[in-house]
Amino acid sequence: MQDFKQLGISKVLQNTLKEYGIIQPTPIQLEAIPVILNGQDSICQAQTGTGKTLAFMLPILESIDITKQHIQALIITPTRELALQITTETKKLTADLDGVNVLSVYGGQDVEQQLKKLKNTQHIVIATPGRLLDHLRRATIDLSEVSMLVLDEADQMLHMGFLPEVEDIINTTSQQRQTMLFSATMSQQIKTLARRYMNKPADIRIKSTQITVEEIKQLVVETTDRAKQATLRNLLDSYRPFMAIIFCRTKRRASTLNQALISYGYLSDELHGDLSQAKRETVLKQFRAAKLQLLVATDVAARGLDVDGVTHVFNYDIPQDTESYIHRIGRTGRAGGDGLAITLVAPKDRMYLDLIEKEIKMDIKRIRVELEKDVKNSTRSNANNSTRSNQEKSNISDDYQQRRQKNIQRNAKRR
Tell me: pLDDT of 145 over 70. yes
Let me know if 4 is exposed, middle or buried by CB neighbors in 10 A (0-12, 13-18, 19+). Answer: buried
pLDDT tens digits for 43-75?
998 866 678 899 999 999 999 999 999 999 999
Domain-terminating residue out of 174, 205, 236: 205
Q: Which distant-in-sequence residues (6+ apart) come within 8 Å of 311 by Cβ? A: 241, 242, 243, 244, 332, 337, 338, 339, 340, 394, 395, 396
Phi, psi values for residue 188, rounded to 5°: -65, -35
Q: In terms of pTM, does the model score above 0.85? A: no
Let me know if 374 is exposed, middle or buried by CB neighbors in 10 A (0-12, 13-18, 19+). Answer: exposed
The CATH number covering residue 49 comes to 3.40.50.300
Q: Among 367, 371, 357, which Cα is nearest to 321's?
A: 357
Residue-range definition of the domain harbouring residue 78: 4-205
pLDDT for the residue 152: 93
Do 164 and 243 lie in a common domain?
A: no
Please state, in angstroms and rounded to a whole number, the distance separating the CA atoms of residues 185 and 198.
Answer: 18
pLDDT for the residue 277: 75
Alpha helices by DSSP H, listed for 20-79, are: 27-37, 52-63
pLDDT tens digits for 12-35?
999 999 988 888 899 999 999 999
Q: Among 241, 210, 393, which Cα is nearest to 310's?
A: 241
- Number of independent structural domains in the chain: 2
pLDDT for the residue 413: 47
pLDDT for the residue 381: 38
Do 327 and 389 lie in a common domain?
A: yes
Residues of the chain above pLDDT 70, percent: 84
Q: Is 79:304 a contact under the CB 8 Å cutoff? A: yes
User: Which of the residue ranges 112-121, 217-226, 274-283 has the most confident prediction, judged by mean pLDDT?
Assistant: 217-226
Indicate the average pLDDT of the chain.
84
Do 84 and 223 lie in a common domain?
A: no
Residues of the chain above pLDDT 90, percent: 53
Q: Is 353:324 a contact under the CB 8 Å cutoff? A: no
Confidence of residue 214 (pLDDT cuts 50, 70, 90): low
pLDDT for the residue 34: 96
Do 140 and 55 lie in a common domain?
A: yes
